[in-house]
Amino acid sequence: MEKKRRTSVFEKLLLVVGFLVLIIGYFFINKVFIAEGYKISWGFLQTVFLWLLMVIFIILLAIGEDIKEGILLEQLDEIKGLKETILKRKNR
């Protein structure tokens, strides 16, 4: 049976920051596009590329945090199992 883990404060904060980056970045990019007369300039392309890099970085950070939590839970289960086997051998 798969254990369900609770989300940490860091993961919740990361979710909020990710949504803010998506929404605010989209509106700023849209505003710049309109201000430049609906033309794609080099500065506009750089801005979009950097915004996409920030989004990808946030996604990778969330994936890394999830993997770390999974590894820690597995290690905790393994340590508990080792503790139980040591206590059983000690009581014999």
In tens, the pLDDT along 4-38 reads: 778 889 889 999 999 999 999 999 999 988 988 88
Least confident of 3-7, 77-81, 86-90: 3-7
Distances (CA, A) of 78 to 45, 67, 81, 85: 49, 17, 5, 11
Q: Look up residue 21 and give its amino acid.
A: V
**Can you give the pTM of this predicted structure?**
0.77
Buried b / exposed e along 62-77 (16+ C-beta atoms within 10 A): eeeeeeebeeeeeeee
